[in-house]
């Protein structure tokens, strides 16, 4: 008789336990997945270090609501086929939130598995635009800007800050330049506010771009958005100015390079270019880097600050949500600001971090200055 | 109509740049039948020499005109000595070898010089000072043709005329033509063939150096690779116009430049090279020796 009562009580407790995992678990399990071995290990290992440092601090401060944070580290070697196993392994170990994965392909493969298990995932480095924009992965967040963020910044700046309505989009036919230009064209067309007067690729290395400059002039564009690198950009801007064309020139971080200013000289003045937001003056960023040096005796590697920020954001959300339930964590991520090394961030509905990514710079007196 | 004129001048600028480099290719080919692939590198070295000299002189505050003259002179002398040396060590020993050997030697020389400049200078683009100022009297036309465009155009015309006169009327020119016609025969009648060939390389290289200075000043930047890209286009222009013919190189340059410019203007710059090279193929199908090339009867 007694035995049965105990069993029933246990079953009830277990049932409650499943419904509210946090109450049943005595630790919060933070998974860290990514490439920890193989060719791309240098992209993944910094996030393990970042997670270790963040968890150490939180545990030293008494954990989250009295619960210690436990790390579960799993390697996916950046391969999609391995990443699905990694995800399954983490879930069977009872993971609550995951920092990872590192590569876009692996992340994409693993996400549905986490989604079915109700686990929120935050990547410090997967930049594929579809991961957030497709809407297929409601459990996905990231602390890095997506690949099209630069084009978005350029277009927003042209339309909303400069108030332009006729824009020519030029690129250098390369993967980077053309990719950016295509996103810029897409955003311009979608906005309905501006007309793309010209969309063309130029041949890199050509001796003269005056024909395409004349074409830009004829198209009546108020501004040129150029996707590509600085050697072509400096030739085009020089010839535009020499042909007495004062069309606004907006470009990307391939042009936000001091060589551009050195080469284009006085013609570089007034040129706009997007570049990664400078977080090096952020005290949290300095602190994170120093912690790494103190603990591991070396400079942190790629995506370290993004990973550090992601770990902070995830654990902060669990704290605010008082639960590891997916919906509660998502709510917390979207409705709370959190101070991180990459700045004060909060997440939008599709999972991108707001306030992370690119800023617009302008050449003033031979230097790039951030446009506020 | 105005757009047409703008595109026409753009094409002319491009064309004269190609032509200025193409003259060196065609001259060497005309005399010894060798495609001197290192010519683009000589052009690049000329640009670098004038860059160094002009930078140093402008630090000492020399007036612009004297900077142009001195930098041009230094570049011409330096490049000419390169041309002379290259011929002596890379082509002369192979003069009796099959044509292919000399061609490979030329490609090797080209790669060697590129890498030499890459290591001696840097892989970065360097800003080239604007040696050709904006002339006041050009201001009303500046929106379709710049001052440096005009200077390059006139230099090309001058070089073409000068070379044609040299080859047609001077004693040296006569020797050059004789060497081109039949090297053995020329030797037998007492022409110092080696000297003639060396001189051809010296003249061609000096011209490339002047071109290098003017074009680099027009573009505003140089690095070790500019010679290769410009060289390929210039070589195409030389073939288009009829390799071996001096006016042909200039005509070829203009045809290529104008085609590219109009293709960009009326179709799309994505297809600029497609149009340029389709035209090359078409012309070579109907005139295998190029626009002004003479079809030579096989010597028996």
Does the pLDDT at position B23 exceed 70?
yes
Q: Where does residue A12 rank: exposed (0-12), middle (13-18), buried (19+ CB within 10 A)?
A: exposed
Show residues of chain A in contact with B260, CB under 8 Å: 211
Looking at residue A19, what is its pLDDT? 46
Mean per-residue pLDDT, A135-146 = 92
Is residue B130 within a helix (H) or strand (E), and if so which, with residue range? none
The ipTM estimated for the assembled molecules is 0.88
**Residue A185 — very low, low, confident or very high, per pLDDT cuts 50/70/90?**
very high
Does the pLDDT at position A20 exceed 60?
no
Mean per-residue pLDDT, A182-194 = 92
Axis-axis angle for helices A283-296, A304-321 (nearest 10): 110
DSSP code of residue B259? H
Tens-place pLDDT, residues B40-56: 999 999 999 999 999 99
Whether B10 sits inside 8 A of A214 (CB atoms) is yes
Does the pLDDT at position B115 exceed 90?
yes
Backbone angles phi, psi at A299, to 5 degrees: -75, 145
**Residue A21 — very low, low, confident or very high, per pLDDT cuts 50/70/90?**
very low
Tens-place pLDDT, residues A82-123: 999 999 999 999 999 999 899 999 999 999 999 999 999 999
Show residues of chain A in contact with B7, CB under 8 Å: 211, 214
Characterise A63 by phi-psi region: left (phi > 0), alpha (psi -120 to 50), beta (else).
left
Return the structure tokens found at A152.
């978005």
Does the pLDDT at position A272 exceed 60?
yes
Which residue, B257, B260, B239, B256, is CA-closest to B248?
Answer: B239
Among B17, B268, B270, beta carbon nearest to A207: B17
Which segment of A1-15, B44-58, B144-158, B275-289 scores lowest on mean pLDDT?
A1-15
Looking at residue A3, what is its pLDDT? 65
Whether A208 sits inside 8 A of B10 (CB atoms) is yes
Q: How many CB atoms lie within 10 A of CB A218?
A: 15
Show residues of chain B in contact with A210, CB under 8 Å: 9-10, 13-14, 149, 261
**Residue A14 — very low, low, confident or very high, per pLDDT cuts 50/70/90?**
low
Whether B125 sits inside 8 A of A214 (CB atoms) is no
Whether A244 sits inside 8 A of B225 (CB atoms) is no
- Nearest CA of chain B to the CA of A285: how many Å? 31
Question: Is the alpha carbon torsion for A217, A222, A226, A231 positive or negative?
Answer: positive
> For residues A264 and B70, what is the distance between their CA atoms, to the nearest angstrom?
24
B273 touches A at CB < 8 Å: yes
Mean per-residue pLDDT, A222-251 = 93
Domains of chain A in start order, with CATH, are 2-144+281-354 (3.40.50.2300), 149-270 (3.40.50.2300)
- For residues B167 and B246, the answer to whether their CB atoms sit within 8 Å is yes
> For residues A76 and A106, what is the distance between their CA atoms, to the nearest angstrom?
8
B277 touches A at CB < 8 Å: no
Mean per-residue pLDDT, B212-218 = 92
Does the pLDDT at position A50 exceed 90?
yes
A366 touches B at CB < 8 Å: no
Looking at residue B96, what is its pLDDT? 87
Percent of chain A exceeding pLDDT 70 equals 93
Mean per-residue pLDDT, A35-58 = 92
**Residue A12 — very low, low, confident or very high, per pLDDT cuts 50/70/90?**
low
**Residue A165 — very low, low, confident or very high, per pLDDT cuts 50/70/90?**
very high
Return the structure tokens found at A72.
């579960």
Looking at residue B298, what is its pLDDT? 55
Does the pLDDT at position A57 exceed 90?
yes
> For residues B240 and B250, what is the distance between their CA atoms, to the nearest angstrom?
10
Among B229, B233, B269, beta carbon nearest to A212: B269
- For residues A345 and A312, the answer to whether their CB atoms sit within 8 Å is no
Show residues of chain B in contact with A215, CB under 8 Å: 264-265, 269
Show residues of chain A in contact with B273, CB under 8 Å: 203
Mean per-residue pLDDT, B222-233 = 89
Domains of chain B in start order, with CATH, are 2-286 (1.10.3470)
For residue A40, what are the CA distances in angstroms to A35, A56, A99, A330, B175?
A: 6, 26, 17, 30, 65
- For residues A216 and A224, the answer to whether their CB atoms sit within 8 Å is yes
Secondary structure of chain A as H, E, C letters: CHHHHHHHHHHHHHHHHHHCHHHHCCEEEEEEEECCCCCCHHHHHHHHHHHHHHHHHHHHCCCECCEEEEEEEEECCCCHHHHHHHHHHHHHCCCCEEECCCCHHHHHHHHHHHHHHCCEEEECCCCCCHHHHCCCCCCEEECCCCCCHHHHHHHHHHHHHCCCCEEEEEECCCHHHHHHHHHHHHHHHHHCCCEEEEEEECCCCCCCCHHHHHHHHHHCCCEEEEECCHHHHHHHHHHHHHCCCCCEEEECCCCCCHHHHHHHHHHHCCCEEEEECCCCCCHHHHHHHHHHHHHHCCCCCCCHHHHHHHHHHHHHHHHHHCCCCHHHHHHHHHHCCEEECCEEEEECCCCEEECCCEEEEEEECCEEEECC
Cα B129–chain centre separation: 21
Does the pLDDT at position A13 exceed 60?
no
Does the pLDDT at position A160 exceed 80?
yes
Whether B127 sits inside 8 A of A262 (CB atoms) is yes
Looking up tokens 């991520």 gives A333
∠B20-B21-B22 over CA atoms, to 5°?
95
Looking at residue A24, what is its pLDDT? 46
Does the pLDDT at position A23 exceed 80?
no
Looking at every residue in chain A, the average pLDDT score rounds to 89
Tens-place pLDDT, residues B138-180: 888 888 888 888 999 999 999 999 999 999 999 999 999 999 8
């Amino acid at each position: 008789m007694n035995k049965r009562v105990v069993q029933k009580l246990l079953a009830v407790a277990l049932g409650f336990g499943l419904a509210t995992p946090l109450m049943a678990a005595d630790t919060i399990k933070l998974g860290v997945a990514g490439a920890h071995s193989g060719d791309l290990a240098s992209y993944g290992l910094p996030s393990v270090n970042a997670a270790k440092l963040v968890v150490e601090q939180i545990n030293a401060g008494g954990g989250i609501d009295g619960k210690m944070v436990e790390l579960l580290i799993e390697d996916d070697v950046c391969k999609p086929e391995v990443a699905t196993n990694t995800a399954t392994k983490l879930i069977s170990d009872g993971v609550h939130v995951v920092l990872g994965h590192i590569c876009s392909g692996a992340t994409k493969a693993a996400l549905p598995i986490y989604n079915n298990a109700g686990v929120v995932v935050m990547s410090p480095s997967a930049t594929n635009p579809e991961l957030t924009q497709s809407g297929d992965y409601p459990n996905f967040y990231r602390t890095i800007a997506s690949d099209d963020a630069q084009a978005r910044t350029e277009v927003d700046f042209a339309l909303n800050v400069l108030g332009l309505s006729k824009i020519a989009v030029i690129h250098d036919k390369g993967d980077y330049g053309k990719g950016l230009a295509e996103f810029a064209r897409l955003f311009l067309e979608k906005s309905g506010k501006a007309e793309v007067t010209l969309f063309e690729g130029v041949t890199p290395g050509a001796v003269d771009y005056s024909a395409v400059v004349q074409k830009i002039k004829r198209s009546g564009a108020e501004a040129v958005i150029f996707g590509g690198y600085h050697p072509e950009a400096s030739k085009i801007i020089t010839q535009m100015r020499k042909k007495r064309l004062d069309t606004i020139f907006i470009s990307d971080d391939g042009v936000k390079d001091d060589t551009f200013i050195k080469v284009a000289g006085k013609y570089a003045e007034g040129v706009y270019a997007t570049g990664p937001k400078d977080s090096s003056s952020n005290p949290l960023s300095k602190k994170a880097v120093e912690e790494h040096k103190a603990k591991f005796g070396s400079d942190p590697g790629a995506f370290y600050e993004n990973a550090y920020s992601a770990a902070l954001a995830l654990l902060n959300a669990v704290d605010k949500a008082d639960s590891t339930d997916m919906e509660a964590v998502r709510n917390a991520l979207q409705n709370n600001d959190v101070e991180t090394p990459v700045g004060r961030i909060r997440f939008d509905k599709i999972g991108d971090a707001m306030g992370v990514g690119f800023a617009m710079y302008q050449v003033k007196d031979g230097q790039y200055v951030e446009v506020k | 109509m105005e757009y047409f004129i703008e595109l026409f001048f753009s094409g002319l600028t491009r064309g004269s740049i190609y032509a200025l480099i193409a003259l060196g290719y065609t001259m060497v080919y005309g005399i010894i039948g060798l495609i001197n692939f290192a010519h683009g590198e000589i052009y690049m070295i000329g640009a670098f020499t004038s860059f160094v000299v002009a930078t140093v002189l402008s630090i000492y505050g020399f007036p612009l005109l004297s900077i142009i003259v001195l930098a041009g002179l230094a570049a011409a002398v330096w490049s000419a000595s390169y041309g002379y040396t290259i011929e002596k060590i890379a082509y002369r020993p192979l003069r009796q070898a099959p044509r292919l050997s000399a061609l490979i030697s030329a490609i090797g020389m080209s790669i060697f010089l590129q890498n030499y400049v890459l290591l001696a200078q840097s892989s970065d683009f360097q800003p080239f000072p604007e040696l050709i100022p904006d002339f006041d009297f050009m201001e009303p036309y500046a929106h379709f043709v710049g001052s440096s465009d005009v200077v390059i155009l006139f230099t090309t015309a001058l070089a073409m005329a000068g070379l044609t006169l040299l080859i047609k009327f001077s004693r040296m020119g006569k020797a050059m033509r004789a060497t081109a016609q039949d090297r053995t025969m020329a030797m037998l009648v007492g022409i110092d063939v080696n000297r003639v060939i060396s001189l051809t390389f010296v003249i061609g290289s000096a011209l490339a150096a002047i071109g290098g200075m003017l074009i680099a000043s027009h573009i505003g930047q140089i690095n070790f690779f500019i010679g290769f890209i410009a060289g390929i286009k210039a070589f195409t222009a030389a073939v288009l116009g009829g390799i071996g013919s001096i006016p042909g190189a200039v005509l070829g340059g203009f045809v290529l430049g104008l085609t590219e410019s109009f293709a960009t203007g009326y179709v799309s710059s994505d297809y600029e090279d497609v149009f340029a090279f389709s035209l090359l193929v078409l012309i070579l199908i109907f005139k295998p020796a190029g626009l002004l090339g003479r079809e030579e009867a096989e010597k028996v």
